[in-house]
Structure 1
Amino acid sequence: MLTPLPGATRLTGALALLLLAGCAKDAAAPSAPATPVRATSSNASAVPGTMMQGFYWDVPQSTSGQTWWQVLGGQAAELSAAGITAMWIPPAYKGAAGGYDDGYGVYDRYDLGEFNQKGSVATRYGTLAQLQSCVSALHGKGIQVYEDMVMNHFMGADAQESFTYNGTNYNVYTSFTYPARANKYSTYQWHYYNFNGAQQAPNNGWYQWNPWDFQSYNNGDAYDNLMGCEVRYADANQVNETVKWGNWMTTTLGLDGYRIDAGKHMLTSFLNTWFDQVKGSRFAVSEVWFNSVSELNSYASATGGRTSLFDVPLHYTFKAMSDGNGSWDMRGLEFAGFTESNGPLSVSFVDNHDTDNQGGLYSPIVNLKMLAYAYILTREKGYPCVFYKDYYNYGLGAQIKTLNLIRQAHAYGSGYEYTSADDADVYAYSRAGDASHTGLLTLLNDGSSNATKTLTTPFKNATLTDLTGNTAGTVTTDANGTGTFAVNSRSYAVWVPQPTTAVTFNINYSNTVSGQNLYIVGSTGQLGSWNTANAIQLSGAAFPNWTVTLPLTVGIGVQYKYFRKDGSGNILWENDPNNSLTPAGTTQTVTDTWH
């Protein structure tokens, strides 16, 4: 029988990630500190939230005659019923490829599908009116809306500009004047002096005229050049215009938060100003693609906690598990990722539009994906994000919904790692629950055989059921919370204590003398498991009526008996047969007769 350790400090930085990524079954797994300390999460909410990324690369321009905004709006009710509390929507503005552009090739940030530019009025996702209807539908079902803010660059300039800078002649497409919009919403136009540089045809070479405008993090690398015409945020004009645009977007769409694209390619001084003047108390998460916990923590420090960050290292831990496909050491999930290191600022995810798309960040979780979802959706720390394509296109929606509803109802209280119990195939984790919620126990098994684990849980004298439906039967723990729990091969289980109700037992019995008392004992841990040493004494304050009130699991039938015991331990049992009871969902009073 093994007892959990509370969440602990962990290895940080590149060394920890190398250990996790290379955690083969025959390798030593990272160990928890001898004296663990549980970090307290500061972002707890009344209902654990779950975000969905509501798109993927190259979503269809039309689905059964509907635009993407119409599709998303039409799914608001079912996603709300599945426990989705926020939706990250794609870049809503006109891209260089017009109606074909996914939005990341930003042309006009003020065109949300309203102006005939780049060959279309609508964006890839629909018109402004359809976008606003989508947001209203999501809000109407209690789902917050986070917009994807692409602020690093522009593409598809209206004209070429020729200029000389520091003795070098440039002839590049850097003039953005938006003639079709005709200054509606903003008169700001963009020219070469608003940019650091540009990626240009015919060879997509990088022309840079402000090469010093970058910043480094603790690995010493510069992250300024990405694509298109890159905005020069060292100049206050661009900062002020982008702040103005951010506030316009927020008001126009009624945004509840933001996903910041390409965060590490922009000056944090600009982003901090933007967060302070636009974000306010709203939510923000930044894409800062560092596969290192220490680098993410450095970025979190540089932005002063103004933005959450996607847990990239945890994604690559899941990638190692997926690629191992049964050969990876599951102890690599202990204390994993930025989520464990900085839970209040972490957004955990399994896959996204970049990792699922065959580009530079292609790293899909192909195998054992639901184990990864069971991990992020039951964990104490981190704000989980579900990928739309996993939910709808890859057929995982029903399983994710079940896990997410378990999350909403039961994923509360302190989290515990079972470092002494975990092995190469099976990982265990529990939540202790709180005054209003039961808590849970999660088991993940990447092995080819069914497995059991005997664990000491926070759940004493409780009957637990795997609410995922993957594992049949129930487990009843003893007075210490110890039980033996099963998990199927290449599967997961989330064991949850079944609800209890107060049952009052009354029996009229007068055949006692001083020093003798009545006890009740029965077939479950709550009734002592037929062990007289664990029997429960009744009160004789209203002699000859004896009474006791006990919490019993709803719907689980029990058998029990009464016995009399004196001060010397001598016992007198009532006669057979046993008494029986199946507690209902409300409080009950049972009046028995000694027989």
Structure 2
Amino acid sequence: MTHFLRGAARASLAAALLLTGCAKETLTPGAGAPTAVAPATSNATVVNGVMMQGFYWDVPTSTPAGTWWQNLGSKATELSQAGITAVWLPPAYKGSGALDVGYGVYDRYDLGEFNQKGTVATRYGTIGQLQSAIGALHGQGVQVYEDMVMNHFTSADAQELANGQYNVYTSFTYPGRNNTYSNYQWHWGNFTATQQAPNNGWYQWKAYDFQPYANGDAYDNLLGSEIQYNNNPSNVNETIGWGNWITTKLSLDGYRLDATKHMYTPFVNQWLDAVKGTSGRFAVSEAWFRNLGDMNNYAASTGGRTSLFDVPLHYLFNDMSNGNGNWDMRGLQFAGFTEANGALSVSFVDNHDTDQTGGALFSPVSNLKMLAYAYILTRDKGYPCVFYRDYYEYGLGAQIKKLIAIRKANGYGAAAEYTSVNDANVYAYSRAGDASHKGLLELLNDGGSAASKGITTPFKSASLTDATGNNAGTITTDANGYAVFPVGARSYAVWVPTGGTTTPPPTGGTTAVAFNVNYSGTVSGQDVYVLGSTAQLGAWNTANAIKLSGAAYPIWKGTINLTSGTSVSFKYIRKDAAGNVLYEGGADRTFTPTGTSQTRNDTWQ
């Protein structure tokens, strides 16, 4: 988002640390025995999936492959082979000119197709190049999420007199598009206020959609002409229609919602219900709260409809980076929104805003960055997001790729924090593995000297090697799982039982699964849903369950795209408008989607 116009966050990092850190830890007696962490279901749309932010601020307009869209399309195969399962695209529509990065939105229906603002192409290329890039990514089984900017417009076509008070640029008639795709136009009555030259002052003629909350860290006005959604159903319906249009036009698998804390929250919920709905598509929102309490409150206010970027965790990594060896690594214990609500968390190290020199959110993790990536890519909770610039331009791609391979092969089973082992320099964490995957033990060391830790692991009488290649040799545990494990200075290690990283689980395309369940136990106001182990099936969060149609009552029907070749568990549930839930009886249903389509004919247990 164009955060350079946003005020600084007011919540202190100290408060975030208090909420995310050691207040929750429990010491366990014994030599390095773990403190158990409750298991969580990943919210990734592919099991152990990894998202990539496929751009950064001011990407070049020309690359060796051509435009930015052509650049991304050319990387589809290598991204898939590296284990990237989804790519988040920048805003794909026309901004204020040829160099606009997309957040200065002019026309959301112009995907590089019309001669507007002095250019046909956007900064990233033409609509044809965009659709080719998406086709290339989909062809390699990589999902595509589009950046949805719904707060504002900029660079109007003409001035008009707003409320008889202000001559302002608020007339958007799009003559270059000439009503193609939509004849909706925007004028001063569609907005609450606008910000414009020469002094970028605000001109306001209507009440903002909401008053500041979260100690003033969320407020309505952000940039350009602020769209009114409260008490303006025509704006709401138009933006919902646009969301459905672009979803179909680009065959989207999900969305990144920009600057949601600046928008009227009931509108965000309404848009998600109408556009994301029960499709199984993914959504993550940028609600930039440094304070974990504010993050939790926003997650509650959006009812689990959208994941959230783990902003508090980013600032912990930034503190670690700024400490550069002097930060207390125990701050990573039970940390961030990822620990508080892993099923709705997208963890990240840096993004286009934190990396943007001179931007209001500039807070790069410049030092010890691979420790941060090792943390998010091995954790049992959260959906990790890799930053394009880290992978391709800051020289970290090979190391990140290796961690993704470890994640896919070993990142399974119960998680444990080692609160009695961790100290100011070394943080340890393990995954116990499951019947098909051998698990892992991670050590992160920000200290200037190599360290060794005696740890009681889940791996009894086992031989382990460091799958990162940062440490040579083999460590053998005793009958209790105990051994002493080394980690290098300012480095990380991921020790895995021998042979544990050779066979990653399959990834691939999707299977359209038709769910048909016979159930007559409903009354008016009750519906039947399907709920299961992946985000496509709600990640066991009843708020995200997929509603089935009762048009063929007592058969309840719905078709959901699931990842081919990946086993899922699910149940049917009954739910009413008040949120009361009844689960069907019996064990979880389990199957593996295969082929392009599949049908399940079930009877409520």
Aligned mates of 1:446, 1:249 — CA distance in 2: 45
Q: How many residues align?
A: 479
CA-CA distance at 1:15 after TM superposition = 5.6
CA-CA distance at 1:223 after TM superposition = 1.1
Aligned mates of 1:317, 1:19 — CA distance in 2: 11
- What's 1:209 paired with? 205
- What's 2:323 paired with? 324
User: Please, what TM-score do these two structures have when normalized by structure 2?
Assistant: 0.77
State how 1:279-318 maps to structure 2 within 5 Å: 279-280=276-277, 281-318=280-317
- Is the partner of 1:499 in helix, strand or coil? coil
CA-CA distance at 1:215 after TM superposition = 4.4
Contact kept? 1:215, 1:267, Cα under 8 Å? no
Contact kept? 2:373, 2:400, Cα under 8 Å? yes
- What's 1:71 paired with? 71
- Larger Rg over CA atoms: 1
Specify every segment of 5 or more residues in structure 1 that has no aligned partner in the other structure, as ranges.
1-11, 24-28, 501-595
Are 1:336 and 2:335 an aligned pair?
yes
- Is the partner of 2:163 in helix, strand or coil? strand
RMSD of aligned C-alpha atoms? 1.8
Aligned mates of 2:13, 2:266 — CA distance in 1: 26
Amino acid at match of 1:457: T
CA-CA distance at 1:405 after TM superposition = 0.7
- What's 1:412 paired with? 412
Contact kept? 1:146, 1:258, Cα under 8 Å? yes
Are 1:172 and 2:168 an aligned pair?
yes
- What's 2:252 paired with? 255
Are 1:184 and 2:202 an aligned pair?
no
Show CA shifts across 1:291-321 (max 9, x none).
0111001000000000000000000000010
- What's 1:117 paired with? 116
Aligned mates of 1:119, 1:44 — CA distance in 2: 42
Amino acid at match of 1:326: G
- What's 2:347 paired with? 348
Are 1:86 and 2:86 an aligned pair?
yes
CA-CA distance at 1:323 after TM superposition = 0.4
- What's 1:135 paired with? 134
**CA, structure 1 residues 31+453, in 2 after alignment: closer, same or farther (shift >3 Å)?**
farther
Aligned mates of 1:208, 1:316 — CA distance in 2: 34
Contact kept? 2:259, 2:287, Cα under 8 Å? yes
Show CA shifts across 1:70-105 (max 9, x none).
0000001001111000000000000012x2110000
- What's 1:380 paired with? 380
Aligned mates of 1:217, 1:201 — CA distance in 2: 28
Are 1:196 and 2:189 an aligned pair?
no
Aligned mates of 2:142, 2:422 — CA distance in 1: 37
- Is the partner of 1:464 in helix, strand or coil? strand
**CA, structure 1 residues 487+389, in 2 after alignment: closer, same or farther (shift >3 Å)?**
same
Are 1:460 and 2:457 an aligned pair?
no
Aligned mates of 1:225, 1:128 — CA distance in 2: 31
Show CA shifts across 1:403-427 (max 9, x none).
0111011100111000000011100
CA-CA distance at 1:209 after TM superposition = 1.4
- What's 1:399 paired with? 399
Are 1:223 and 2:219 an aligned pair?
yes
Contact kept? 1:199, 1:227, Cα under 8 Å? yes
**CA, structure 1 residues 255+482, in 2 after alignment: closer, same or farther (shift >3 Å)?**
same
CA-CA distance at 1:43 after TM superposition = 3.1
- Is the partner of 1:43 in helix, strand or coil? coil
Contact kept? 1:30, 1:331, Cα under 8 Å? no
Match of 2:25 among 21, 32, 35: 32
Range with bigger deviation, 417-426 or 59-68: 59-68
- Is the partner of 1:465 in helix, strand or coil? strand
- What's 2:490 paired with? 490
Contact kept? 2:217, 2:289, Cα under 8 Å? no
Match of 1:238 among 235, 238, 254: 235
CA-CA distance at 1:213 after TM superposition = 2.0
Aligned mates of 1:300, 1:93 — CA distance in 2: 28
- Is the partner of 1:88 in helix, strand or coil? strand
Are 1:440 and 2:440 an aligned pair?
yes
Specify every segment of 5 or more residues in structure 2 that has no aligned partner in the other structure, as ranges.
1-10, 29-34, 501-605
Aligned mates of 1:362, 1:485 — CA distance in 2: 36
CA-CA distance at 1:40 after TM superposition = 3.3
- Is the partner of 2:125 in helix, strand or coil? coil
Amino acid at match of 2:349: V
Off by >2 Å, runs of 4+ in structure 1 = 12-16, 18-21, 33-40, 42-47, 215-222
- Is the partner of 2:464 in helix, strand or coil? strand
Are 1:273 and 2:266 an aligned pair?
no
Aligned mates of 1:270, 1:20 — CA distance in 2: 29
Contact kept? 1:150, 1:260, Cα under 8 Å? yes
Contact kept? 2:96, 2:105, Cα under 8 Å? yes
Show CA shifts across 1:163-191 (max 9, x none).
335xxx11100000000101000000000
**CA, structure 1 residues 37+425, in 2 after alignment: closer, same or farther (shift >3 Å)?**
closer
